[in-house]
């Protein structure tokens, strides 16, 4: 028996359970943090009383300096971490009330990195995104969905390559294809552009924006302020585990706010012609 068949069989066992789809209650966010806190055993708070909502149809970018609590907050919103205070709601329902398969059909998560111990091909990795739907009817076949996701992420030519043989950027795109294949209405992307070149960076943010325009809720963790300002509907700024500001890019991307947040002076201006916000760090003249 192949490793992929073993994986499919393991997920397939879930099809014997009753896992209805998550219903987003009218007027509620796709996911919401209500005063959530995450503290270590020694009392250190990595996330401290943060509230954040992401609604269907919007792209929210989360930014902040290293150690701000971005990935920890993401883990709380996805259910990978359990809050030590406050609550997380998915479609108006407490996240703890949702089963693993039910949650997997509501949200898909792209981690900062993906490590595989076995030489699965890219095609096999992307097909793993279909695991939550094994045994369920679907308008499209898995083959059609996988092919489309490979095309959207420019990885179709890599389909037969072993995932561990890919470059960091290629692995990131293949992982994104798996996330898209999950067809969840909520996308969590943790630094999806970190290993990508210029073209693929823009492609990924365009894809995320397009998914939001089609009605999905998208939360993306970024370090690039200019990318966030260009593509996000709202920007959430974190520092020290707390929310510093959250709003439209032009509201939160101000020179005083960003200079204080990052401890480095910046200038914020608009690109002539387009009016696009540009954030530029000040540099001492040589």
Residue carrying structure tokens 């387009």: 274
C-alpha distances out from residue 243 to 20, 36, 79, 200, 261, Å: 34, 11, 20, 30, 11
Query: Quick count: other Cβ atoms within 10 Å of Cβ 20?
Result: 8
Q: Do 235 and 52 form a contact (C-beta atoms < 8 A)?
A: no
Rounding to the nearest 10 degrees, give the CA dihedral for residues 70, 96, 102, 109. 10
Query: Quick count: other Cβ atoms within 10 Å of Cβ 119?
Result: 12
Query: Quick count: other Cβ atoms within 10 Å of Cβ 270?
Result: 11
Each residue's pLDDT, cut to its tens digit, for the chain (286 residues) gives: 333 444 344 333 322 223 335 667 677 899 999 999 999 999 999 999 999 999 999 999 999 999 999 999 999 999 999 999 999 999 999 999 998 888 999 999 999 887 777 889 999 999 999 999 887 877 788 999 999 999 999 999 999 999 999 999 999 999 999 999 999 999 999 999 999 999 999 999 999 999 999 999 999 999 999 999 999 999 999 999 999 999 999 999 999 999 999 999 999 999 988 889 999 999 975 5
pLDDT of 25: 67
Strands 217-221, 59-63: pairing is parallel
pLDDT of 118: 82
Round to whole Å and give the CA distance between 148 and 142.
10
- Transcribe the chain into DSSP letters: --HHHHHHHHHHGGGGS--PPPP--TT--SEEEEEEEEE-TTS-EEEEEEEEEE-TT-EEEEE-STTSSHHHHHHHHHTSS--SEEEEEETTEEGGGS-HHHHHHHEEEE-S----SS--BHHHHHHGGGGGGTTS--SS-HHHHHHHHHHHTT-GGGTTSBGGGS-HHHHHHHHHHHHHHT--SEEEEESTTTT--HHHHHHHHHHHHHHHHTT-EEEEE-S-HHHHHHH-SEEEEEETTEEEEEE-HHHH--HHHHHHHHTS-EEEEE-TTT--EEEEE-----
pLDDT of 19: 36
Single pTM value for the model: 0.88
pLDDT of 284: 79
Closest CA to 216 of 170, 182, 174, 171: 182
For 128, list phi and psi in degrees, rounded to 5.
-60, -25
pLDDT of 167: 94
Domains of the chain by residue range = 100-108+116-184
């Amino acid at each position: 028996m192949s490793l992929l068949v073993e994986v499919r069989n393991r997920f397939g066992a879930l099809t014997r359970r009753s896992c209805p789809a998550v219903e987003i209650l009218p007027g509620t966010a796709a996911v919401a943090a209500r005063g959530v806190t995450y503290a270590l055993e020694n009392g250190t708070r990595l996330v401290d009383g943060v509230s954040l909502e992401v609604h269907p149809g919007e792209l929210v970018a989360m930014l902040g300096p290293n150690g701000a609590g971005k990935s920890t907050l993401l883990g709380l919103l996805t259910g990978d971490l359990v809050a030590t205070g406050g609550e997380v709601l998915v479609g108006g329902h407490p996240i703890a009330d949702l089963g693993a398969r039910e949650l997997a059909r509501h949200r898909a998560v792209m981690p900062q990195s993906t490590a595989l111990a076995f030489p699965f091909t890219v095609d096999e990795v992307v097909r793993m995104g279909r695991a939550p739907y094994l045994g369920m009817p679907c308008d499209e076949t898995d083959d059609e969905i996988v092919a489309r996701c490979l095309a959207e992420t420019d990885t179709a030519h890599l389909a037969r390559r072993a995932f561990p043989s890919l470059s960091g950027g290629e692995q990131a795109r293949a992982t994104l294809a798996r996330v898209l294949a999950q067809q969840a209405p909520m996308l969590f992307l943790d630094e999806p552009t970190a290993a990508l070149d210029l073209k693929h960076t823009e492609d990924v943010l365009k894809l995320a924006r397009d998914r939001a325009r089609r009605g999905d809720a998208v939360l993306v963790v970024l370090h690039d302020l200019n990318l966030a300002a260009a593509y996000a509907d709202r920007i959430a700024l974190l520092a020290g585990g707390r929310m510093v500001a959250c709003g439209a890019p032009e509201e939160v991307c101000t020179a005083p706010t960003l200079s204080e947040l990052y401890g480095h002076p910046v200038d914020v201006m608009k690109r002539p012609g387009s009016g696009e916000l540009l954030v530029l760090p000040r540099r001492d003249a040589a």
